[in-house]
Chains A and B, each alone.
Chain A
């Protein structure tokens, strides 16, 4: 089955700086990689996703890169703001089943 590893588990950056979160996956057939943001006590919300036919996708301050050969993908947040503070999860599908597997999460804190 799919195994998704995420790091770092915690990340603290100065407001205005960039934050990078990295994930690796094991199932080479996986073709969809979403990133979710979860605030305390709330549901995860999709912030960006990427499919395996592209290597990079950007949406304003958020970008995701994918390296299929190395089986890793990363989330990049630029010009961080206090409202970016949350827990971020990467995920990848298990190709043999209709389910996605989540990484362990990264708690991002933005220092004023």
Chain B
């Protein structure tokens, strides 16, 4: 099956710093990847759709200047949380699906971000 990796798996940073999270499709090419945020005991909330070679599409209420997304290749998308604050602490998960008709989304293992 298709495999998606994420790095790092967890990160602790100080308030005001920036953190970069990588999402890679290991055995397939992903023209589209998705970034989700999940707070404790809540559902996955889509933050943005990452399109290879073009600008990401952000969901309403998600600050594009705070959550920078870059999808420079068919196997890599990055999410940078800029000027992180404690309220940004969350579980960030990326996903990708195979091109074509709607089918299974393959999720990365997630990155737990803690901002002190």
Where the two chains meet, the residues of A that have a C-beta atom closer than 8 Å to any C-beta of B are 31-32, 34, 41-46, 49, 51, 89, 93, 97-105, 107
B42 is an interface residue with CB less than 8 A from chain A: yes
Which residues of B sit under 8 angstroms from A32, Cβ to Cβ? 101-103
Since A43-B108, A46-B104, A97-B57 are in contact, a sample of 4 more A-B pairs with Cβ atoms closer than 8 Å, ordered by chain A residue number, is A32-B102, A43-B93, A98-B49, A103-B43
Contact A34 B105 (CB under 8 A): yes
Point out the residue from B32, B41, B43, B109 that lies within 8 Å of A98, measured CB to CB: B32
Interface residue count on the B side (C-beta < 8 Å): 22
Point out the residue from B57, B101, B102, B109 that lies within 8 Å of A43, measured CB to CB: B109
Assembled-state Cα–Cα distance A25/B105 (Å): 19
Which residues of B sit under 8 angstroms from A103, Cβ to Cβ? 43
Given A43-B93, A99-B34, the answer on whether A89 and B104 have CB atoms closer than 8 Å is no
Within 8 A of A (CB), among B32-73: 32, 34, 41-46, 49, 57
Contact A31 B102 (CB under 8 A): yes
Given A32-B103, A99-B34, the answer on whether A42 and B109 have CB atoms closer than 8 Å is yes
Given A43-B93, A43-B107, A99-B49, the answer on whether A89 and B102 have CB atoms closer than 8 Å is no
Contact B43 A97 (CB under 8 A): no
Given A43-B110, A105-B43, the answer on whether A49 and B49 have CB atoms closer than 8 Å is no
Contact A44 B102 (CB under 8 A): no
Shortest distance from the beta carbon of B94 to any chain A beta carbon, whole Å: 10
Contact B93 A101 (CB under 8 A): no
Most buried by A among B44, B45, B103, B104: B44
Which residues of B sit under 8 angstroms from A46, Cβ to Cβ? 104-105
Assembled-state Cα–Cα distance A89/B45 (Å): 12
Q: Report, nearest first, the 10 A-B pairs whose CB atoms are least far apart.
A: A32-B102, A43-B107, A102-B44, A105-B43, A104-B43, A102-B43, A46-B104, A43-B109, A93-B102, A44-B107
Assembled-state Cα–Cα distance A99/B50 (Å): 11
Within 8 A of A (CB), among B75-105: 91, 93, 101-105
Which residues of B sit under 8 angstroms from A100, Cβ to Cβ? 102, 105
